[in-house]
């Protein structure tokens, strides 16, 4: 750059710094940049939803002729192609697409906050790109400290942390530093929700992400064919019903992790939600909670090098064979008895049988298998064994 151009950039830097420091207002900073550049400027969130814009009267970037499918990947490809084009900018009728110069608004740890674009209504010169970088820095300060993004888009800092933690691209020390920078609490209840379109159609994912954010809060990212959401409130009772209605409305299936409290634990709970989604798709359900399928996950991970049946209580195998041979329902009765915490009255109600019928079946179970008084250790091992049998041989109730 020439000395005059350097002086022009330095003056622009002083104006933008003053606008950011004294107003802490995104629109004021953008208007200041427009007074310097005299080019249309647009600030979008990371999903390319408009936050604000500033431009010459009569020029509205919303009316630009774009060749994209209105989703994030195709929008990025369009912007890249427009940055490289050498075609005339405006035809005699003033309707040709503009070229665009784009820059990501980022803060430390390379965390992305927003998208900044300036549109060419005169030939770009060498100072425009430098001023665009200065504008991005000024906007980053305002966006972080004024909370201007809170009501416009999901928390992008959390979204980038989510991706980094899943991919193991961030160390614990860097994570804690970022959490302090963005005032993210050190301990808070989180849950991971993974959603996937039943037909694996991802075209509507940006709109689903925004709807999910507005309905349930939290940050989200798209990974492969799924939307991964970091929910900042546990899903319980009425919220679970609302989530099922949400998934059904968008023809999605979902897997939900258990609640965790520290972000460095996130990857393990992402794997929980991923397993729940996998089981959900196998069972052709709308939503499956990990707490309802964690036994299958344990079995799948513990039994990779051994026969799963070898982990099963041998007494249950005797009952299984007896049920098969005599067409009885002893193993199913025992499972319900364990689920009812060994309460015969509750078991009778759950089985729609008379109390004495349950008493008779339990006496038979004792004679055949030797299972009698069940302590807490027995209860866990038996429930684990039921899960193994279901995983390997199907539902014990179907055995009869």
**Residue 391's CATH number:** 1.10.10.2840
Most confidently predicted of 154-163, 169-178, 187-196: 187-196
Structural domain including 335 reads 308-399
Give the model's pLDDT for residue 90.
44
Rounded average pLDDT over 345-365:
93
> How far is it, in rounded angstroms, from Cα 89 to Cα 85?
9
Is residue 60 located within the same domain as residue 8?
yes
Q: What's the token pair of residue 372?
A: 């009698």
Domain for residue 123, yes or no?
Answer: yes
Q: Which of 146, 180, 196 is the last residue before a domain boundary?
A: 146
Q: Which of 292, 327, 353 is the last residue before a domain boundary?
A: 292
Domain for residue 300, yes or no?
Answer: no
Domain for residue 10, yes or no?
Answer: yes
Is residue 274 located within the same domain as residue 161?
yes
Tell me what percent of the residues of the chain surpass a pLDDT of 70. 80
Is residue 165 located within the same domain as residue 231?
yes
Sign of the Cα pseudo-torsion (118, 121, 126, 128, in order): negative
- Report the 10 Å Cβ neighbour count for 199: 7
* pLDDT exceeds 50 at position 362: yes
* pLDDT exceeds 70 at position 2: yes
Give the model's pLDDT for residue 277.
95
Domain for residue 298, yes or no?
Answer: no
Query: Among 5-14, 274-283, 386-395, which is the least confidently predicted range?
Result: 386-395
Rounded average pLDDT over 152-159:
60
Give the model's pLDDT for residue 66.
53
Tell how strand 226-231 and strand 100-107 pair up: unpaired
Is residue 281 located within the same domain as residue 317?
no
* pLDDT exceeds 90 at position 388: no
Give the model's pLDDT for residue 192.
95
* Average pLDDT taken over every residue of the chain: 81
Is residue 284 located within the same domain as residue 233?
yes
The answer to whether the beta carbons of residues 270 and 215 sit under 8 Å apart is no
Q: Write the burial class of residue 67 (CB in 10 Å: 0-12 exposed, 13-18 middle, 19+ buried).
A: exposed
More confident residue, 304 or 37: 37
Domain for residue 301, yes or no?
Answer: no
- Give tens-digit pLDDT for 83-122: 555 554 444 454 555 677 888 888 765 667 788 888 877 7
CATH of the domain at 107: 3.30.450.40
Domain for residue 303, yes or no?
Answer: no
Is residue 323 located within the same domain as residue 229?
no
More confident residue, 348 or 105: 348
Is residue 65 located within the same domain as residue 141?
yes
* pLDDT exceeds 90 at position 57: no
Is residue 128 located within the same domain as residue 164?
no
CA dihedral 388, 391, 397, 400 (to 10 degrees): -100
Give the model's pLDDT for residue 67.
52
Q: Crossing angle for the helix pair 376-393 and 294-302, nearest 10 degrees? A: 80
More confident residue, 120 or 42: 42
* pLDDT exceeds 80 at position 68: no
Is residue 223 located within the same domain as residue 129?
no
Q: Which of 124, 146, 168 is the last residue before a domain boundary?
A: 146
> How many structural domains are present in the chain?
3
Comparing C-alpha atoms, which of 71, 95, 96, 76 is closest to residue 86? 96
- Give tens-digit pLDDT for 312-337: 888 998 898 899 889 999 999 999 99
Rounded average pLDDT over 263-281:
93
Domain for residue 95, yes or no?
Answer: yes
Is residue 277 located within the same domain as residue 322?
no
Domain for residue 127, yes or no?
Answer: yes
Q: What's the token pair of residue 196?
A: 């996937």
Is residue 370 located within the same domain as residue 277?
no
CA dist 128 → 118, 144, 175 (Å):
9, 24, 34
Is residue 222 located within the same domain as residue 318?
no
Q: Which residues contact 364 (CB under 8 A, 6 or more apart)?
A: 328, 330
């Amino acid at each position: 750059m020439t000395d005059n151009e350097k002086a022009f950039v330095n003056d622009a830097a002083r104006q933008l710094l003053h606008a950011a420091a004294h107003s802490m207002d995104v629109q004021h900073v953008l208007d200041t940049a427009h007074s310097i550049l005299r080019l249309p400027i647009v600030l979008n969130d990371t999903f390319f939803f408009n936050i604000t814009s500033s431009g010459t009267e009569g020029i509205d970037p919303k009316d630009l002729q774009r060749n994209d499918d209105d989703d994030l990947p195709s929008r990025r490809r369009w912007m890249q192609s427009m940055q490289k084009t050498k075609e005339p900018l405006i035809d005699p009728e003033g309707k040709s697409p503009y070229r665009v110069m784009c820059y990501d608004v980022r803060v430390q740890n390379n965390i992305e906050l927003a998208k900044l674009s300036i549109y060419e209504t005169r030939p770009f010169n060498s100072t425009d790109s430098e001023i665009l970088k200065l504008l991005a820095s000024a906007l980053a300060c305002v966006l972080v400290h004024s909370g201007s993004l809170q009501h416009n888009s999901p928390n992008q800092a959390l979204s980038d942390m989510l991706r980094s933690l899943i991919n193991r691209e961030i160390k614990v020390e860097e994570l804690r530093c970022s959490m302090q920078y963005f005032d993210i609490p050190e301990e808070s209840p989180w849950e991971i929700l993974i959603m996937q379109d039943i037909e694996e159609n991802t075209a509507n994912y940006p709109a689903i992400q925004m709807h999910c954010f507005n309905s349930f809060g939290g940050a989200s990212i798209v990974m492969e064919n799924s939307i991964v959401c970091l929910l900042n409130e546990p899903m319980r009772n009425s919220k679970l019903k609302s989530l099922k209605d949400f998934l059904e409305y968008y023809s999605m299936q979902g897997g939900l992790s258990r609640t965790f409290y520290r972000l460095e634990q996130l990857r393990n709970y992402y794997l929980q939600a991923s397993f729940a989604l996998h089981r959900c798709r196998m069972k052709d359900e709308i939503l499956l909670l990990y707490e309802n399928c964690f036994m299958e996950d344990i079995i799948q991970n513990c039994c990779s090098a051994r026969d799963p049946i070898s982990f099963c209580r041998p007494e249950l195998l005797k009952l299984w064979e007896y049920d098969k041979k005599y067409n009885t329902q002893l193993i199913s009765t025992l499972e319900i008895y364990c689920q009812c915490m060994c309460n015969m009255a509750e078991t009778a109600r759950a089985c729609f049988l008379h109390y004495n019928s349950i008493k008779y079946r339990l006496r038979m179970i004792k004679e055949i298998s030797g299972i009698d008084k069940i302590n807490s250790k027995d209860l866990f091992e038996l429930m684990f064994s039921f899960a193994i049998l279901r995983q390997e041989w199907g539902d014990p109730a179907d055995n009869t």
